[in-house]
Chain A
Amino acid sequence: MDKRTNEEWVADLRAGGDQQAQALEDLRAIILRGLPYAIAGRIAPNSPESEALTEEVVQETLMRVLEYLDTFEGRSQFTTWAHKIAVRAALTELRRVRWREVPLPEMEMNDEGDASYRELPDSQASPEEQVSRAEMMKRVNRIIMEELTEKQRMAMTAIMEGFPLEEAAQRLGTNRNTLYKLMHDARLRLKKRLEKEGLTPREVLSVFEQSGK
């Protein structure tokens, strides 16, 4: 039965015994219908990895639903709330699997790295535009060095390299929520410093958007 009202879901899950067991079984079936949306395109469907992940996520979701049942305020359908928990659990695991072999971007830059920089393909910008971009890059780099902490720089490097916030947070010994706050503080500091120097982010952006690549 998955046509319970929110109140019925909460009551059944709190009831214990057979009533709770039946509700958990019904909720399990509902979560299983939603999980393919989280897994699609991330790991092969119907693979052993997919089946193992699905089972792990369902178990974790049911445990969390029971643990946090008192926090459900009824502002959405109960099943949407449960799906939300399942999606977070699934994505957390999928990100961990996807990024576990990828080291955080190296902080050191050697001579070889400098050389590869020079060998990279150039854009089609005019020489004048290239000069203004280089000058702007230098200016912004200086601001970043002066305004951000080492952790903020490391996080920014990781995020620019495509790391999920959650995964970058774990590598940096923090959690996603705290890292978001840290990055918000970093963005605010950079934005205010640019303003002090008479620049807006859009003006800087325009320097790098000029002409084609």
Chain B
Amino acid sequence: MGSTVWSMIEMTGEMEGLNIQDLSFIEWEHLDLSVAESEVVCLLGDSGSGKSLLLRAIADLIVNEGEVSLWGKRRESFSPPEWRKRVGYLAAEILWWEETVDLHFSKPLSREDLDKLNLPHDAGEWAPSRLSMGERQRLGILRMLDRSPEVLLLDEPTANLDENSSSVVEQVLLDYIGEQSAPALWVTHSKDQAGRVGHRILEMKNQSLTELDRAVLTK
């Protein structure tokens, strides 16, 4: 009887959100991590500690080994483009390659979204070279959300933004996470931000993940 209960708990545990087991890439080995639906897990750590690599490994952009599953379905059961569409990875530096901003989107930019992020209404027609750092970043977030990802992997989404834009972006991301019940892994350098947005806070150090005490951190 007891063992059935346990296996059921394990089962449901795996069904929830994003599950990572025994993930290894480059020098990082056997990382375990799970993010439940609507949960924001913040990731702190020095630069070079492997936070970005972890996100890229989960998105299957770099060579890695291990079990990654979403809502209980293994990564390998999706085609690579399908997996990456579901797992929205936002790089630290957003790049643009087409002639205009619009061409990077699957559907035209909505006025509402542009307004939400304080972006000009005709930004879609602009050449990317015209964008400021902050505009690149904010449009990059819209570009990621445009693919309707089920999980968010965010690499310092507010790094290039001033305080005001930063809190707007935080809110847009948290709204999306709430509406879509999306699990989110949020890399940040700011302990304040981690305390604000994270339900759990992990630190990447010496090639491993340790959970930090929220109460201590936000004091």
**Does chain A bind chain B?**
no
